[in-house]
C-alpha cells in the first residue's frame, strides 16, 4: 500500500484479445506531479489536501520492424479531487511528449486561485481523443412517492462535492496489474461527519472488475466506484442520487445520447440484463443499473438505479438540481472545454433506488460502479462456459427425447414386425409338416 507522496509504479501485464498477438503494457503512476514539497501542494495543517494522480499507460512491446508502428496506443489517465472528484482518459498521439510539465499542467496556480476562474485554464491536452467524468453533487431527496427518481418536486439536501475536505489518496496495486486509488472525502451535516468513498481504477489488460457487477474492462477506460456508507439522513424517506458531468471532444453536444442496451447474459450480475450508456461518437460512460446494498452482496442485496435526461451545460441556469456553469474541478480547468463548440459537455442524474425498496435507511449502505473510456465500449457476450452449460442443458433433454422416440418407434413398429415374422414362420412350418405326413 502506498500513501501520499511522489511515487512511480510500473506494472507489466500481457495484453491479448481473443488469441490475438500479445503486447506488454505498463502503468506508470505519479502522485501530485510537479509538487515540490508536500507542504506547498494545498495540504492543510490537519493533513487534508487536494489530490492529483497521473497514470501513463503504454505498450512496451517491440514492433517486428522499425517501419511498423506499435498498434497499441498510449493513454494518459488523470484522477483528481481538486474540487469535485474527476477522472479523465486521453489518447496520446504518436510521437507526443508523454510527460506532464509546467507548460501543460499548472494545477498549483489553479488551487491557489481563490476564485477558481475557468477563463485561466491550468490543464492543456496534447491532442487525441479524451473522455472525462465529474461527480459534481450528492443529492439526498425525500422520495415521498417511492418511485426512486429525484425531481424538482422533491425536498432535497445537496452536498456540493467541489467543497468537501479530502484525505490524501491511497494507492494499491493488484497482482493482475490493476491500480486502485481510494479517495475519502469528509462530509459534514448538522455537526455529524461521515466519509464519502470514491475508488478509481486503471487496468493494464482486458479483464473484469473484481467486485460486482463484474463489468468488462480494457486499458482504454477507468472505473469509478462510489460508496455511501452510514451517511446521516435528513428525511424519513431518504434516497440518494449523483449529479454527473460527462465531457469529451466529440463533435458537439448533439452527439451525446443516453441508451439502454440489452445484455445477453446475467452470468456476472444476476437478474440484471441491461447496460446503460451515455456516449458520443467515440467516447462513453457506461454502467449496469444496479446499486448494491451490502459490502459483500448476495443476489438479494441490491436495488436499481434510474437515469435522468441529459442536459447540455451552458452559462444559463439549468433545472434538475444544477447550478450555473461548471463546478470547481479538473474539468473546469481544462483549456477550451467551455469556450468552444467542438466538445460534448452534458450533465445528468443517476438516482439510487426503486419502487418500495425500503429507502436508504434500510441498509445504510449503497455502492455503484461506472466506467469512463475512449473508443468502443466493451460489450458482454455469452461466454464459452455458459455456452457449454446451455449446450448440456438443452442437449441432454434432446438426447433423452431422441432415445425415447427411437424406443417408442421400436416398440410400435419393430416388435410388430417381429411378431408378424414369427407368425409367418409358424404357419409355414405347420403347412410343411402337414404335407410330409400325407406323403
The reported pLDDT for the residue numbered 55 is: 94
Query: What is the per-residue burial (b if ≥16 Cβ within 10 Å, else e) of 195-219?
Result: ebebbbbbbbbebebebbbbbbbbb
Closest CA to 272 of 255, 289, 257: 289
- All 3 cell numbers of residue 292? 448494491
Q: Is 69 within 8 Å of 63 (Cβ atoms)? A: yes
* CA atoms within 13 Å, Cβ hemisphere of 227: 18
DSSP state at residue 334:
B
What's the rounded Cα separation, in Å, for the pair 162 and 326?
10
Distance between first and last Cα of the chain:
111
Counting as low any pLDDT under 50, the low residues of the chain are 1-23, 315-322, 324, 431-434, 436-439
Helices (H), 55-172: 107-112
Helices (H), 95-222: 107-112
What predicted TM-score, i.e. pTM, was given to this entire model?
0.80
DSSP state at residue 255:
G
The contacts of residue 298 (CB under 8 Å, 6+ apart) are: none
Q: Is 273 within 8 Å of 304 (Cβ atoms)? A: no
Q: How far is CA 251 from the centre of its chain?
A: 23
Any idea where the domains of the chain sit in the sequence?
Answer: 12-381, 388-439
Query: What is the per-residue burial (b if ≥16 Cβ within 10 Å, else e) of 48-68?
Result: ebbbbbbbbbbbebeeeeeee
Q: Specify the pairing of strand 12-15 against strand 365-374.
A: unpaired
- Three-class DSSP category at 359: coil
- All 3 cell numbers of residue 413? 413398429
The reported pLDDT for the residue numbered 47 is: 77
The reported pLDDT for the residue numbered 264 is: 64
The contacts of residue 365 (CB under 8 Å, 6+ apart) are: 227, 228, 229, 230, 293, 294, 295
Cis geometry, peptide bond prior to residue 416 (ω within 30 degrees of 0): no
State the Cα angle at 290 between 218 and 206, rounded to 5°: 10
Q: Is 217 within 8 Å of 24 (Cβ atoms)? A: no
Q: Is 181 within 8 Å of 79 (Cβ atoms)? A: yes
The reported pLDDT for the residue numbered 16 is: 35
State the Cα angle at 326 between 325 and 331, rounded to 5°: 150
- Long-range CB pairs of 383-392 (<8 Å, 24+ gap) are 383/265, 383/267, 386/265, 386/267
Amino acid at each position: 500500500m502506498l500513501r501520499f507522496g511522489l511515487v512511480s509504479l510500473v506494472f507489466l501485464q500481457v495484453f491479448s484479445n481473443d488469441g490475438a498477438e500479445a503486447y506488454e503494457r505498463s502503468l506508470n503512476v505519479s502522485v501530485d506531479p510537479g509538487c515540490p514539497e508536500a507542504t506547498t501542494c494545498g495540504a492543510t495543517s490537519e493533513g487534508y489536501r487536494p489530490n492529483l494522480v497521473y497514470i501513463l499507460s503504454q505498450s512496451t512491446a517491440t514492433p517486428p520492424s522499425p517501419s511498423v508502428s506499435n498498434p497499441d496506443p498510449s493513454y494518459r489517465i488523470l484522477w483528481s479531487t481538486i474540487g469535485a472528484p474527476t477522472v479523465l482518459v486521453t489518447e496520446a498521439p504518436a510521437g507526443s511528449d508523454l510527460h506532464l510539465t509546467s507548460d501543460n499542467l499548472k494545477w498549483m496556480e489553479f488551487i491557489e486561485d481563490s476564485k477558481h476562474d475557468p477563463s485561466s485554464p491550468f490543464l492543456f491536452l496534447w491532442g487525441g481523443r479524451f473522455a472525462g467524468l465529474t461527480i459534481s453533487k450528492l443529492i439526498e431527496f425525500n422520495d415521498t412517492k417511492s418511485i426512486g427518481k429525484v425531481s424538482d418536486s422533491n425536498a432535497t439536501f445537496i452536498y456540493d462535492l467541489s467543497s468537501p475536505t479530502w484525505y490524501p489518496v491511497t494507492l494499491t496495486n493488484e497482482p493482475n496489474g490493476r491500480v486502485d486509488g481510494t479517495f475519502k472525502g469528509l462530509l459534514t451535516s448538522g455537526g455529524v461527519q461521515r466519509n464519502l468513498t470514491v475508488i478509481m481504477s486503471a487496468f493494464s489488460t482486458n479483464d473484469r472488475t473484481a467486485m460486482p457487477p463484474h463489468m468488462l474492462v480494457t486499458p482504454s477506460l477507468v472505473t469509478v466506484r462510489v460508496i455511501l456508507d452510514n451517511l446521516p439522513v435528513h428525511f424519513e424517506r431518504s434516497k440518494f442520487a449523483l449529479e454527473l458531468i460527462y465531457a469529451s471532444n466529440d463533435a458537439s453536444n448533439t452527439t451525446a445520447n443516453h441508451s439502454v442496451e440489452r445484455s445477453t447474459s446475467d452470468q456476472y450480475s444476476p437478474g440484471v440484463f441491461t447496460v446503460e450508456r451515455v456516449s458520443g461518437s467515440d467516447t462513453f460512460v457506461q454502467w449496469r443499473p444496479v446499486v448494491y446494498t451490502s459490502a459483500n452482496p448476495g443476489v438479494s442485496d441490491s436495488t436499481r438505479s434510474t437515469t435522468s435526461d441529459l442536459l447540455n451545460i451552458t452559462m444559463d441556469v439549468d433545472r434538475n438540481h444544477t447550478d450555473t456553469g461548471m463546478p470547481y474541478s479538473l474539468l473546469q480547468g481544462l483549456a477550451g472545454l467551455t469556450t468552444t463548440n467542438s466538445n460534448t459537455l452534458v450533465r445528468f442524474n443517476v438516482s439510487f433506488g426503486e419502487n418500495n425498496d425500503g429507502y436508504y435507511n434500510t441498509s445504510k449502505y449503497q455502492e455503484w460502479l461506472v466506467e469512463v473510456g475512449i473508443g468502443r465500449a466493451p460489450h458482454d457476450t455469452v461466454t464459452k462456459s455458459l455456452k457449454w452449460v446451455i449446450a448440456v442443458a438443452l442437449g441432454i433433454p434432446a438426447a433423452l427425447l431422441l432415445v425415447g422416440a427411437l424406443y417408442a418407434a421400436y416398440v410400435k413398429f419393430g416388435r410388430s414386425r417381429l411378431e408378424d415374422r414369427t407368425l409367418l414362420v409358424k404357419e409355414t412350418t405347420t403347412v410343411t409338416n402337414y404335407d410330409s405326413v400325407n406323403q
